[in-house]
Amino acid sequence: MNWIYPFTRSDFFFICLFIALYTLYVWRTFRLAHQLNTSAWGAIPKFFLRGSYLTLLIIALLGPSFGESVVDFATSGHDTFLIVDISRSMDANDVVPTRLERVKYDIQQLCDTLPANRFGLVMASSAPFVLAPLTADQDALKQFIREVHTSIAPTGGSDLCSAIELAHQKLTTDPSTRRSVKAMVLFSDGENASPCERNTLIRLRMQGIPVITVGVGTETGASIRQGRDFIRDDNHQIVRSRLNRSYLQELARDSRGQFIEADANGRYINELAGILQSLKGGISDQRRLAVATNKYYYFLLAALGLIALDILIAIRTFRL
């Protein structure tokens, strides 16, 4: 027999206290019986009865485990590449403080929400690159994302499809992801993005790798500062960057993913975490274990039966 909870000093104290108090009770009973010139042996059965159900209650509290049942345990690893758009449009401040700063903060919140998942970082620029490979080290990932700025991009634009293709390559060529649940999350405003190749989207669907798109920004949009001025077009008009919701929705639909729109207070992170956790895929670890089950209820039922017996049966203590 195994025990779930250890026998502590508190248990020992209450047992000794019960024995001491009941011994005092029995001694006083026999002393009174001696003064009355009678017998008090009727107190002895009650002592053994009450001592028995106290013992059974203590055993139940300790959690006796015996007998074995076979339990199957199956766990799924979740590997996700976070693709972050670092084009100049992500400096727009229609999302406070800016679109990119909001994404950086929300990614850190996502890591805290899903601490058991592995995440990687791909930066979507004109020449996409991997900032962090898949890792379970959430602190390192947070440090990487804090250092991200639009100025690290070679040019001001971004090629979202190339970034998706790069993340797909990393997910499918890494041996450690072979049996894991794989996904991508794209944080972008979708502005000036070109459609992805149909073959890329077909491969993603066939391999069960959804692209969850997160729309960052508003349809009203905002201008983008450049020094003391704003970015202007060829006609010297101030450029206004807007959320391209339809593009991101189409991309999510074609890859069998989902579209989420980022809100100002970051509540969408819980929805995003729920989507990632709900994805089904291969089993990364499956074991069959023999487990001893807690049988406390046997002893608890026996103790309750003895307590009922103690209440219902009256034993004459003194024989007068």
- CATH code assigned at 134: 3.40.50.410
Q: Would you say residue 50 lies in a domain?
A: yes
Report the pLDDT averaged over residues 149-164.
85
- Same domain assignment for residues 45 and 89: no
The pLDDT of residue 192 is 76
Q: Would you say residue 128 lies in a domain?
A: yes
Residue % of the chain over a pLDDT of 70 = 88
**Tens digits of residue pLDDT in 245-293:** 999 999 999 999 999 999 988 899 999 999 999 987 655 555 555 556 7
Q: Would you say residue 320 lies in a domain?
A: no
Q: Specify the number of domains making up the chain.
A: 2
- Same domain assignment for residues 273 and 147: yes
Q: Would you say residue 152 lies in a domain?
A: yes
Report the pLDDT averaged over residues 183-209.
91
The answer, yes or no, to whether residue 69 has pLDDT greater than 70, is no
- Same domain assignment for residues 254 and 175: yes
Q: Would you say residue 131 lies in a domain?
A: yes
pTM over 0.85: no
Q: Would you say residue 10 lies in a domain?
A: yes
Q: Would you say residue 317 lies in a domain?
A: no
- Same domain assignment for residues 65 and 196: no
Task: Report the mean per-residue pLDDT for the chain.
Answer: 85
- Same domain assignment for residues 64 and 32: yes
The pLDDT of residue 129 is 94
- Same domain assignment for residues 174 and 192: yes
Q: 231 or 275: whose pLDDT is higher?
A: 275
Closest CA to 213 of 154, 272, 265: 272
Closest CA to 210 of 151, 244, 253: 253
Q: Would you say residue 61 lies in a domain?
A: yes
pLDDT band of 82, cuts 50, 70, 90:
very high
Which residues constitute the domain of residue 28? 2-69+291-312
**Tens digits of residue pLDDT in 11-64:** 788 888 888 888 888 788 878 777 777 777 666 777 788 888 888 888 888 888
Residue % of the chain over a pLDDT of 90 = 46
The pLDDT of residue 163 is 95
- Same domain assignment for residues 127 and 196: yes
- Give the separation between CA 161 and CA 195, rounded to whole angstroms: 7
- Same domain assignment for residues 210 and 156: yes
